[in-house]
Every structure is written in C-alpha cells, then in structure tokens.
Amino acid sequence: MNFSLPPEVWDSIFENAVYGGGLGIILLIYFWHRWRSDRRSLEELKTNKEAGLMEPASLHPIFNDNRCIGCAACITACPEGTIIGLVDMKARLINPSHCIGHGACKTACPLDAITLVFGSETRGVDIPMVQPNFETNVPGIFIAGELGGMGLIRNAITQGRQALDSVRKLDGMGKGGEGLDVLIVGAGPAGFAASLGAMQHGLSYATLEQDSLGGTVFQFPRGKIVMTAPVDLPMVGKVNFKETTKEKLLEFWQDVEKKTQVQINYNERVETITPSGNGFLVKSNRQSYQTRSVLLAIGRRGTPRKLGVPGEDQPKVVYRLIDPAQYQNMHVLVVGGGDSAIEAATTIADEPGTTVTLSYRSEAFSRVKEKNRKNLKEREESGRVKVMLKSQVKRIDTDKVVIKWDEFDVDLPNDAVIICAGGILPTGFLKEIGVQVDTKFGTE
C-alpha cells in the first residue's frame, strides 16, 4: 500500500472517517501513523542519498519484498536507532552507513525476509572464506572478529570464544606434546576472548599483539563512545555494558588481564606462517613458534595507507589519534574524509591553542555519521577547523606542509600530521598462507 499521499487526500479520508464512526476513527489513526512513519523514512532515505551515505560499512540486511509484511519487528529490534524504516509498507535500510551488523533485525523477522550480506553492487568487500566453525580453507587456521567482517565488539568477543571452542575439537588438543595447541594473533576483542578461553580450558597457547591490548578499540580517539551489550567473557562470565567509553572498556580489560594473568606478547608481529609437521611454524619479529593451530583475530585495517609524499617519514606524522591533549598549542593537519578523520579534527580543535586543518581529496564527505558532520560544521563555523576539500598534500616539511588546493599550492605552518586514510586489508598475507579471500558484492 502506498502511504505517500498528498495532504488534501488525507483531508478527504479524515472527513469520511469522522462520518464512518468509531471504527473509521481507529483505522484513520492507524493509517495516519503509518503514513507519517513512511514519510519520515522517505525523507531520511533522501537525505542520506544526497549525502552519499548509502554504503554499509560491514555486515548489513537486505530485504525480500515478497516475504516482508511491514510488521516493523526489525525496526523495533535494531538497537542503533533509525537504521531501518518502512517505505510503502516494506522494510528498507534507510541509514546504511550507520548499520554495524548487529543481526538483531534478522532474528526478529517472523517471516525470514532478511538476509545479512557483505558489500553492495557498487562496492565490494574482501572477506576471507570461513566455515561456520570459523576454520578457513586451510585446516588448522581459524579467523574470528573484524578480519572476518565482524567489527562489532560484542560479536567479535562472541566469535573469539566460539572459534576457540572449535579449536579445542581438533585432534590432540590439550594433551601436551611438542609445540603449542594454538597461537592467537591479535589482542583485540576476539583475540582477548580467545586467549582467556585457551587459558580457561588448559590449552597451551601464545598470543601475539603487534600493538596494544584492545586492537582497533585502542586506536579510537580519547573519550569515544563504544556501544556494547551484555556478553560472556571466558574466565569472567557475563559482562554487562550498555554504553561506555573507550577508556572505561580498556580499563576493564586491563583489570581482567591483571587478575587472570593471561599472557599476551605485546609489540610482536607475525611475519610468516608455514605448514610444519602436524601444524604450523609461525615466525614473528622476535622468535619462532611451533603450533598445532592458528587463530587470526587481527583487524581489517592492516597496514596504514600512506600518502607517498616527501617528508611522510618524519616522527611528527602518525596514522591514528591517541590523545588529543598532546596537540595543545600546535598547528595540526588531519588528512582524510571518514569518521576517524573528522573525529580526530574535531576533538583536537577543542584543545587549547590548537589550529586544525582538515584536508580531503574529494569534493564532499561520504559515509560519515550525521553526528560527526554536525560537530565538524560547528567547529568550522566557529573558526576552530579549516576544511580544505578537493585538496592533496604535496610535501611535509619540518615546520610546514604544502597542500595543492584548487590548482594552487598553499603553505601552512605545521607541527603535527595525522593521516586517517584507512588501512590496507592484509589480503596479501592471507593469500601467502593459503587462505582464500572472496570479494563480496552484496552477497552472503
């Protein structure tokens, strides 16, 4: 049924309903609410299309119109707000860029009208081939968490626990012998949960983390809200989080690490994984490990994407924001057009004495949350952030940067550069160890 009717038509319907008695009034109220909901969904969908916010970042739903009855169960079930709406009595993803792959909509649908997919017809997403038990096409190598497409903290923790349970079912696990039962790569949500699971079940393990506890979460800007939900963590039990900051979540994990004495080797990066005997030989930048199995729980960012310009190798150039306070009284350049770049620019701009420039090569920001757009607009209007669209960094000097903007070279005083250009998916590394990677274009 089409609810997109002109106001004068609704006036006529209202008059007829008044004369039709009580039942007519009830039906009028029902259809009036449906019409308003439909109209709001269409307006939100139009706004997001105009802003270029139609590409989901991760796992997301598609809807079967032949099965959908417009019951709105999926809308009610989604914990992230107005992600799904009804358009002409059919469910639609009206805010795709905000969808983070909860999957609650699919669970709630009474007629199985929802399928969860990766990528879209216009934007492919590289996803390693993983079986339901998280094992790849290479027997003994498992993948869990963000690398497999699950960036949501709660889902990643759950996958890390479940993947470790699958590892436990391999022959000879927990019976001693030469080498490790499992080598876990990464100490983000999935890797941390798997490490606790290995410890809980008495497996011999080693966990290697090239950076810090928390993985991608650690790289979030200070004070960033991370949405979590109740989740079971091995050695701890049910953890109840509703909404918490990055700092509080990391503090909790650090406390768990201390109390359980789970062992994590920090600043250790895996370089090669090769078949060896009944398992694998894993070489890191520090030593070699013989292991029966490997669980990859690394992020999708992989190696930071660089600009490839002169001066980029200077110490003042970094690829993520850790603490905005360190940039007080500095001239800062942020490069990028995604949420991470805008969040970095706006949070640094709030520090005393800073001047912030945001450089982005395109003519408009795409796939950016509305909240971040508003924050950036406020700081741009107040003069705290200078936005340079359609610009490219040409050179980074010790005391300035040179940016090509509208065919002219602009020199800006500079003390620090933060490049938020994303990362290169470790596809090459996966292929080297034999793991099959498929590009998904809106498919399961």
Predicted confidence at residue 411, as pLDDT, reads: 96
Cβ(140)–Cβ(294) under 8 Å? Answer: yes
Measured CA to CA, the distance from residue 288 to residue 405 in angstroms comes to: 49
Collect the ranges in the chain with pLDDT lower than 70.
1-35, 50-53, 57-58, 100, 102, 122, 124-125, 149-152, 214, 216-230, 241-245, 300-303, 367, 442-444
**DSSP readout, 254-283?**
HHHHHHHT---EET--EEEEEEETTEEEEE
Of 302, 345, 355, nearest to 324 by C-alpha is 345
Query: Domains along the chain?
Result: 7-117 (3.30.70.20), 126-302+426-440 (3.50.50.60), 317-424 (3.50.50.60)
Measured CA to CA, the distance from residue 53 to residue 55 in angstroms comes to: 6
Predicted confidence at residue 320, as pLDDT, reads: 82
Predicted confidence at residue 133, as pLDDT, reads: 92
With helix as H, strand as E and coil as C, how does 130-162 read? ECCCCEECCCCEEECHHHHCCCCHHHHHHHHHH
Predicted confidence at residue 10, as pLDDT, reads: 53
Predicted confidence at residue 117, as pLDDT, reads: 82
Of 272, 335, 304, nearest to 424 by C-alpha is 304
User: Residue 159 phi/psi, 5° resolution?
Assistant: -65, -40
Alpha carbon of residue 142 to chain centroid? 20
* 51-90: pLDDT as tens digits: 666 777 667 888 999 999 888 899 888 877 788 888 888 8
Predicted confidence at residue 177, as pLDDT, reads: 77
Measured CA to CA, the distance from residue 409 to residue 393 in angstroms comes to: 9
Give the alpha-carbon dihedral of 62, 64, 67, 73, to 10 degrees. Answer: 20
Structure tokens at 168: 């436990």
Predicted confidence at residue 12, as pLDDT, reads: 63
* 243-291: pLDDT as tens digits: 666 778 888 889 999 999 999 999 898 999 999 988 999 999 999 999 9
Measured CA to CA, the distance from residue 370 to residue 282 in angstroms comes to: 44
Of 325, 323, 308, nearest to 219 by C-alpha is 323
Predicted confidence at residue 18, as pLDDT, reads: 56
Predicted confidence at residue 1, as pLDDT, reads: 47
**DSSP readout, 101-128?**
---HHHHH-TT--EEEEBS-SS--EEEE
Predicted confidence at residue 413, as pLDDT, reads: 97
* 193-222: pLDDT as tens digits: 999 999 999 999 999 998 888 676 656 655
Predicted confidence at residue 157, as pLDDT, reads: 87
